[in-house]
């Protein structure tokens, strides 16, 4: 399969600069985890705010609860971004991975025509198939947000990387637009615009941007469906996902009451 390397010259020209939300964009051939790399650099005293680290290959990509995966080189869009959350209330932090999902879905739809949606809290899906995942990790006052999006993975490659999973790729979905460089630029443009709006809204006294909440609701594949939420200790909540709270929590109507669960509190969320 022809898998061209990323060409980030256009992305740097259009989106990166010392006075822009993206200060630097770094491209590496291979690493364990872009999230882990940025967090390590932050712990060593480096200023990672506005730094985008893109990898052509991750040998130990990270998901929620320490889950890891590895895929062939040049088959994904994999990057992490350091975001300055200084001056914002911690109550606003939970919206960062959600707005990242909105940005990715909008970029995928606009660039490829694939009708992607969002499974709360962190999955990019098409129907029941997972196209990508998002991981946000806190190193206050910085939050590192990582994305892994499957572009040219084949069914045998996905089966080898994650046996019996529901994963898919843009190639498997029939997309004819598989230009990772164009898609990367589109995602980062959407993401920086969303982050700017999030910071403006969260820095004031009015709470989260109402338009962001509305945008998330309209792209959600979870709201309105029956779900089973598994919490630590094998506790379960079963009911209908009815809404997203102003804190980014999922509200579940159990039939007797409504429970709000946070992404950090939940182990698994499954549709019934």
Predicted confidence (pLDDT) per residue in 232-264, tens digit: 888 999 999 999 998 899 999 999 999 999 988
CATH number of residue 231's parent domain:
2.30.30.100
Whether residues 40 and 122 share a domain: the answer is yes
CATH number of residue 44's parent domain:
3.30.930.10
Q: How many CB atoms lie within 10 A of CB 242?
A: 13
**pLDDT tens for residues 208-236?**
788 899 999 999 999 999 999 999 888 99
Average pLDDT score over the chain: 93
**pLDDT tens for residues 82-95?**
999 988 888 889 89
Examine the fold and report which residue of 216, 236, 257 is the final residue of a domain before the chain moves on: 216
Quote the pTM value.
Answer: 0.94
The CB-based long-range contact list for 207-210 (8 Å cut-off, 24+ gap) reads 207/246, 208/92, 208/95, 208/246, 208/248
pLDDT of 62 > 70? The answer is: no
Whether residues 139 and 265 share a domain: the answer is no
Structure token digits, residue 13: 């020209």
Is 22 inside any structural domain? yes
Residues 6+ apart with CB under 8 A from 197: 209, 211, 212
The CA distance from 75 to 172, in Å, is 12
Instruction: Report residue 2's pLDDT band, with 50, 70 and 90 as the boundaries.
Output: confident
Which residue range forms the structural domain that includes residue 245? Answer: 223-271
The CA-to-CA distance between both ends of the chain, in Å, stands at 37
Whether residues 73 and 197 share a domain: the answer is yes
Whether residues 136 and 238 share a domain: the answer is no
């Amino acid at each position: 399969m022809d898998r061209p390397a990323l060409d980030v010259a256009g992305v740097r020209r259009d989106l990166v600069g010392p006075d822009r939300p993206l200060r630097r964009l770094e491209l590496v051939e291979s690493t364990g985890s872009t999230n882990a790399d940025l967090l390590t650099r932050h712990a060593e005293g480096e200023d990672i705010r506005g730094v985008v680290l893109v990898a052509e290959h991750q040998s130990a990509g990270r998901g929620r609860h320490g889950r890891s995966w590895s895929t062939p080189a040049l088959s994904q869009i994999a990057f992490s971004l350091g975001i300055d959350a200084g001056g914002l209330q911690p109550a606003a932090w939970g919206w960062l991975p959600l707005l990242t999902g909105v940005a990715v879905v909008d970029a995928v739809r606009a660039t490829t025509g694939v009708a992607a949606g969002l499974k709360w809290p962190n999955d990019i899906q098409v129907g029941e198939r997972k196209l990508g995942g998002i991981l946000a990790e806190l190193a206050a006052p910085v939050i590192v947000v990582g994305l892994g999006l499957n572009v040219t993975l084949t069914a045998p490659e996905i089966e080898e990387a994650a046996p019996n999973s529901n994963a898919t790729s843009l190639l498997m979905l029939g997309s004819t637009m598989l230009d990772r460089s164009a898609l990367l630029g589109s995602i980062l443009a959407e993401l920086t615009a969303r982050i700017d709006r999030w910071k403006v809204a969260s820095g004031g006294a009015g709470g989260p941007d109402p338009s962001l909440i509305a945008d998330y609701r309209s792209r959600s594949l979870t709201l309105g469906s029956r779900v089973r939420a598994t919490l630590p200790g094998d506790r379960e909540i079963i009911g209908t996902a009815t809404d997203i709270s102003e804190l980014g929590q999922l509200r579940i109507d159990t039939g007797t009451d409504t429970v709000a669960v946070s992404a950090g509190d939940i182990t698994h969320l499954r549709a019934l």
